[in-house]
A and B are shown apart, each in its own frame.
Chain A
Amino acid sequence: MTNSTNTEASTAINQLFEDRTLLAKKRAVARKRRNRSEQRFRWAGRLSIAFGIACVLFLFTDIISKGIGAFTQTYVDVEITFDQETLGLNSQSTEDEIKAASFGSFYKKALRDKYPEITGRTEKRQLYAMFTSDMPLILRNMVVADPSIMGSTKIISMIADDDFDTYYKHSYGRDLDEAEQISRLSDMQEGLVDSLAKSGAVKTKFNTILFTNSDSREPELAGIKGAIVGSILTLLVTLALSFPIAVATAIYLEEFAPTNRITDFIEVNINNLAAVPSVIFGLLGLAIFINFFGMPRSVPLLGGFVLTLMTLPTIIISSRAAIKAVPPSIREAALGMGASKVQTVIHHVLPLAMPGMLTGTIIGMAQALGETAPLLMIGMVAFIVDVPTGITDPATVLPVQIFLWSDSPERAFVEKTSAAIMVLLTFLICMNSFAVWLRKRLERRW
């Protein structure tokens, strides 16, 4: 710095301190700059939030608009006569013979009677194909449950096939372009839909099948009951294992473990585990639980083990944070009273840390509920029609069911996929709201 600039600078400073209006001007410039940058900062925040909300709204509208259709199902009222002759039996037939009979004849005959003009073999097949292929089984179950209906004539709500259902819900009676038409029905079948609809026999009702059936190859018969039960069983196993293990680990590490290299190493590893991609846990489960211990594959017990590995770090980290947040003065008070270390933890630290621990657990569970990748590795991706009755029955879970359906080509499965996503999101939102409520409820001040 030369002398001349020094003199210039000191003149400027002198001027500044003599002239208060100049000071005020300079401050005004600085204030404007500050205000502008504060505004920019605020707007950046608002825009970020708006972007987030827009994404969520887009996701929700997309899923809901695609999936809402799956909550209704098309039925057709058809008058069916339950008589022995149609089954090719007579009044002397035994019960076993009745059970073994071909019950499909009932509705096929009823349809033939309703449309006598349809005579060709292909046309007849097309007519029958408009109803779910499970109709014979459904009719048989009706007769087995109540044999007295044999000989009577009843109006039966028959479940429409998925192509019929999709066409009726999305295209029928609407003024759509060729390209927008969703129809895999033949012209003859579309004509039949039209005539049935005009006669008032076609109805759409709330789709209870979605919640009472398990997976099926037929979209109109596919439901998520098996997947929901599978998810619940898997989560129960996960909760029963991960909560006690995580809480015990957190308490030991926070309250009892000495600070040394070993505990540092453990801490680093727990944090690393939280960042491991979940599919790795699936591979681990495959290698250890199935290949080494020979556990059965596809079962909720195994799924629970794998998800436990995955959620443990989450719960441990949040539990440790909750324990750390308990003020040391409470521990001192208890120790000063002559409480032992364990008494201090159980009587004072644990109750205070519990809300935080439970919140972490619920968030971990929500994470586990939405997990797909590790379960694919241990075979929970199998096509399972039965509802699991225990943790050692083969099962699938909701997100895997969504994954399976999203792979299916039928238009009706696209709808079901979105519907299953809606159910899963509902569960997740409920769990997270419960976590928030619990935290608010149990939060204590000290």
Chain B
Amino acid sequence: MNTAQQSMAEIVKETYQTVGLPLLDDPKMRVRNANVFYADKQAIFDVNLDIGKNQVISMIGPSGCGKSTFLRCLNRMNDTIDICRVEGDLLLEDQDMYDKKIDVVELRARVGMVFQKPNPFPKSIYENVAYGARIHGLTDNKVQLDELVETSLIRCGLWKEVKDRLNEPATGLSGGQQQRLCIARAIAVNPEVILMDEPCSALDPIATATVEELIHELSQNFTICIVTHSMQQAARVSQRTAYFHLGKLIEVNDTSQVFTNPEHQLTEAYITGRIG
């Protein structure tokens, strides 16, 4: 057992206090005392966190620390896992997301998601972007739908590359293009929040740079939560950074502060590469 692990065992007790500034005034999402269980095993412990409007918040931490689990709680994607149970208050603009009266389809239209591996539908590029608008009945006719597809693709910087082959299968695009298509598909229904689960981990550095630039642009209109393994990426794209460790939210602060002057010794151990 090295020193970092030893200290971790002492520091991360059953009750703990998140250091830094987890709470904000007038946030987009509010999470209070969130606990997540997979059957009997607890994956998330008492997380309190606010997610600010039109901000990018990145979640970092070693593998298995629960950051993806936490992210998936924010649009109830965990509902699809039978054994997963979420407790606590998770609010989207003062509305309880886990209220029985909430329609989960409606919720996911407001909180979109981009996954780790680009997962376009095995349909045409056009159909991929148009799908959300179709199922939610957003457009009245073909002209509007065409316009929506074009706008979404333009906003993702993909329009020039694909405008001549909208009817070709999306699976024929390169990995980076596919991921940008998935982002275009997500923003086509104009969600309020976009959750991104390691969106660049399957991409090469150039495609990663393009996607990061895109995230930066999108943050003007959307609230974005991004889970990432790359601390450089977190530093480049986000305003706030949350550090998770073994299911606990250790520290939340402005990104610049987390990476230059971490308050908690675990955060420091992680960003300096001593644990991870």
B175 at the interface (CB under 8 A from A): no
A446 at the interface (CB under 8 A from B): yes
**Which of B109-117, B149-157, B250-258, B264-272 lies on the face that meets chain A?**
B109-117
Chain A residues with CB below 8 A from B25, complex form:
none
Chain A residues with CB below 8 A from B131, complex form:
334, 337, 339, 347
B276 at the interface (CB under 8 A from A): no
B139 at the interface (CB under 8 A from A): no
Chain A residues with CB below 8 A from B117, complex form:
329
Compute how far the CA of A336 lies from the CA of B112 in the bound complex, rounded to whole angstroms. 6
Question: Could you pull out 9 A-B pairs where Cβ atoms are within 8 angstroms?
Answer: A330-B122, A333-B119, A333-B120, A336-B75, A337-B189, A338-B112, A338-B132, A348-B121, A444-B171
List CB contacts (< 8 Å) of A327-367 with chain B. Answer: 327, 329-340, 343, 347-348, 352
Chain A residues with CB below 8 A from B121, complex form:
330, 333-334, 348
Interface residues, chain B, with chain A CB atoms under 8 Å away: 75, 77, 80, 82, 105-109, 112-115, 117, 119-122, 131-132, 135-136, 171, 182, 185-186, 189
B135–A343 touching, CB < 8 Å: yes
Min CB–CB distance A445 → chain B (angstroms): 7
* Minimum-distance CB pairs A-B, first 10: A336-B113, A338-B109, A329-B119, A338-B108, A333-B119, A446-B122, A337-B132, A338-B105, A340-B105, A444-B122
Chain B residues with CB below 8 A from A336, complex form:
75, 77, 108, 112-115, 186
Chain B residues with CB below 8 A from A340, complex form:
105
Min CB–CB distance A322 → chain B (angstroms): 14
Compute how far the CA of A352 lies from the CA of B115 in the bound complex, rounded to whole angstroms. 20
A199 at the interface (CB under 8 A from B): no
Q: Give the contacting residue for B189; candidates A259, A332, A338, A352; CB below 8 A.
A: A338
Chain A residues with CB below 8 A from B108, complex form:
335-338
B186–A337 touching, CB < 8 Å: yes
A147 at the interface (CB under 8 A from B): no
Chain B residues with CB below 8 A from A331, complex form:
80
Looking at chain B's contact residues, the main secondary structure is: helix
Compute how far the CA of A231 lies from the CA of B115 in the bound complex, rounded to whole angstroms. 51
Return the chain A residue nearest B83 by Cβ.
Answer: A259
Min CB–CB distance A136 → chain B (angstroms): 67
Known: A332-B115, A333-B115. A339 touches B122 (CB 8 A): no
Looking at chain A's contact residues, the main secondary structure is: helix
Compute how far the CA of A287 lies from the CA of B43 in the bound complex, rounded to whole angstroms. 55
Among B108, B114, B171, B189, find the residue whose CB has the most chain A CB atoms closer than 10 A: B108
Given A331-B80, A338-B108, 15 extra CB contacts under 8 A: A327-B119, A329-B117, A330-B121, A332-B119, A333-B182, A334-B131, A336-B77, A337-B132, A337-B186, A338-B105, A338-B136, A339-B131, A339-B135, A444-B171, A446-B171
A390 at the interface (CB under 8 A from B): no
A259–B82 touching, CB < 8 Å: yes
Return the chain B residue nearest A327 by Cβ.
Answer: B119
Chain B residues with CB below 8 A from A352, complex form:
122
Chain B residues with CB below 8 A from A338, complex form:
105-109, 112, 132, 135-136, 189
A244 at the interface (CB under 8 A from B): no
A258 at the interface (CB under 8 A from B): yes
Compute how far the CA of A169 lies from the CA of B131 in the bound complex, rounded to whole angstroms. 68
Min CB–CB distance A333 → chain B (angstroms): 4
Return the chain A residue nearest B191 by Cβ.
Answer: A338
Min CB–CB distance A25 → chain B (angstroms): 47
Min CB–CB distance B195 → chain A (angstroms): 8
Compute how far the CA of A330 lies from the CA of B178 in the bound complex, rounded to whole angstroms. 13
Return the chain A residue nearest B128 by Cβ.
Answer: A333
Min CB–CB distance A4 → chain B (angstroms): 43
Chain B residues with CB below 8 A from A334, complex form:
121, 131
Min CB–CB distance B87 → chain A (angstroms): 21
Chain A residues with CB below 8 A from B80, complex form:
331-332, 335
Chain A residues with CB below 8 A from B112, complex form:
336-338
Among A331, A338, A343, find the residue whose CB has the most chain B CB atoms closer than 10 A: A338
Chain B residues with CB below 8 A from A337, complex form:
108-109, 112, 131-132, 135, 185-186, 189
B-contact bits for A430-446, CB 8 A (1 contact / 0 none):
00000000000000111
Min CB–CB distance B127 → chain A (angstroms): 10
Min CB–CB distance A95 → chain B (angstroms): 69
Chain B residues with CB below 8 A from A348, complex form:
121
Compute how far the CA of A368 lies from the CA of B57 in the bound complex, rounded to whole angstroms. 60
Return the chain A residue nearest B109 by Cβ.
Answer: A338
Q: Give the contacting residue for B77; candidates A332, A339, A343; CB below 8 A.
A: A332
Among A258, A331, A336, A340, find the residue whose CB has the most chain B CB atoms closer than 10 A: A336
Min CB–CB distance B80 → chain A (angstroms): 6
Compute how far the CA of A445 lies from the CA of B121 in the bound complex, rounded to whole angstroms. 11
Compute how far the CA of A347 lies from the CA of B107 in the bound complex, rounded to whole angstroms. 20
Chain A residues with CB below 8 A from B106, complex form:
338
Return the chain A residue nearest B112 by Cβ.
Answer: A336
Chain A residues with CB below 8 A from B171, complex form:
444-446
Compute how far the CA of A446 lies from the CA of B123 in the bound complex, rounded to whole angstroms. 10
Among A327, A335, A337, A348, find the residue whose CB has the most chain B CB atoms closer than 10 A: A337
Compute how far the CA of A335 lies from the CA of B109 in the bound complex, rounded to whole angstroms. 10
Among B80, B82, B171, find the residue whose CB has the most chain A CB atoms closer than 10 A: B80
Chain B residues with CB below 8 A from A333, complex form:
115, 119-121, 182, 185
Return the chain A residue nearest B107 by Cβ.
Answer: A338
Compute how far the CA of A336 lies from the CA of B114 in the bound complex, rounded to whole angstroms. 8
Compute how far the CA of A444 lies from the CA of B124 in the bound complex, rounded to whole angstroms. 13
Compute how far the CA of A340 lies from the CA of B80 in the bound complex, rounded to whole angstroms. 11
Min CB–CB distance B241 → chain A (angstroms): 24
Compute how far the CA of A145 lies from the CA of B248 in the bound complex, rounded to whole angstroms. 95
Chain A residues with CB below 8 A from B185, complex form:
333, 337
Min CB–CB distance A267 → chain B (angstroms): 16
Compute how far the CA of A327 lies from the CA of B117 in the bound complex, rounded to whole angstroms. 12
Min CB–CB distance A305 → chain B (angstroms): 36
Min CB–CB distance B192 → chain A (angstroms): 12
Known: A329-B115, A348-B121, A444-B122. A335 touches B77 (CB 8 A): yes
Compute how far the CA of A314 lies from the CA of B119 in the bound complex, rounded to whole angstroms. 31
List CB contacts (< 8 Å) of A292-340 with chain B. Answer: 327, 329-340
Return the chain A residue nearest B114 by Cβ.
Answer: A336
Compute how far the CA of A330 lies from the CA of B117 in the bound complex, rounded to whole angstroms. 11
